[in-house]
Amino acid sequence: MTPFEQQVTFLYAERPEESWRFFEEVLELPLAQDQGTCRIYEAASGGRAYLGVCRARAPRASADPRVEGGVVFTFVTREVEAWHAHLLAKGVALPPAPEYSAQYGVTHFFLRDPAGYLLEVQRFDRPDWPAPA
């Protein structure tokens, strides 16, 4: 059996237009495919990781997307500090600075998209993490 070749994480938003603008204009992700009610973005260079943002079929049972099968989407980059500065300049609400987690061996920060999903920008600072291609 061969390993999986690609990865897509799907998020569902009641007002996807806000989320689409966020991923296209703030995070500047390239649009890979527009399916009308769902847009799929290239989340990492090389065509191996994708993020789909789709119109929700019904309102959420809770205002907290983590309550019902919540999602955390992590963007992995060596340039965590540069992304933090870039997003601050775009007016995104962020913590004062990225943090180092000794428990996980990562430097990271969290933010939320317009639909309330938790996003993370992180760098693996541990030698056993495979370097990106």
Write the CATH number for 97: 3.10.180.10
* 53 is a domain residue: yes
Average pLDDT, the chain: 86
Give the per-residue pLDDT at 2: 65
Under 8 Å between Cβ of 8 and 102: no
Q: Residues 32-50: what's their mean pLDDT?
A: 91
- The answer to whether the CB of 104 falls within 8 A of the CB of 120 is no
Is the CB of residue 77 less than 8 Å from the CB of residue 85? no
pLDDT computed for residue 1 by the predictor: 34
Tell me, what DSSP letter sits at residue 23? I
Q: Is the pLDDT of residue 121 over 90?
A: yes
Kindly report whether the global pTM for this prediction surpasses the value 0.85: no
Q: DSSP H helical segments within 3-132, as ranges?
A: 16-21, 80-89
Q: Is residue 113 part of a domain?
A: yes
- 129: in domain: no
The C-alpha atoms of residue 125 and residue 122 are separated, in whole angstroms, by 9
Residue 130 lies in a domain: no
Instruction: Report pLDDT for 93.
Output: 94
8 A C-beta contact, residue 87 and residue 111: yes
Total count of domains within the chain:
1
The confidence band for 49, taking pLDDT boundaries of 50, 70 and 90, is very high
Q: Are strands 49-55 and 7-13 parallel, antiparallel or unpaired?
A: parallel
Predicted confidence at residue 109, as pLDDT, reads 96
Residue span of the structural domain in which 12 resides: 7-124
What pLDDT band is residue 90 in, cutting at 50, 70 and 90?
very high
In a domain, 54, yes or no: yes
128 confidence band (pLDDT: 50, 70, 90): confident
Please say whether the beta carbons of 124 and 77 come within 8 A: no
Tell me, yes or no, whether 2 lies in a domain.
no
- Predicted pLDDT at 69: 41
Residue 37 covered by a domain: yes
In a domain, 133, yes or no: no
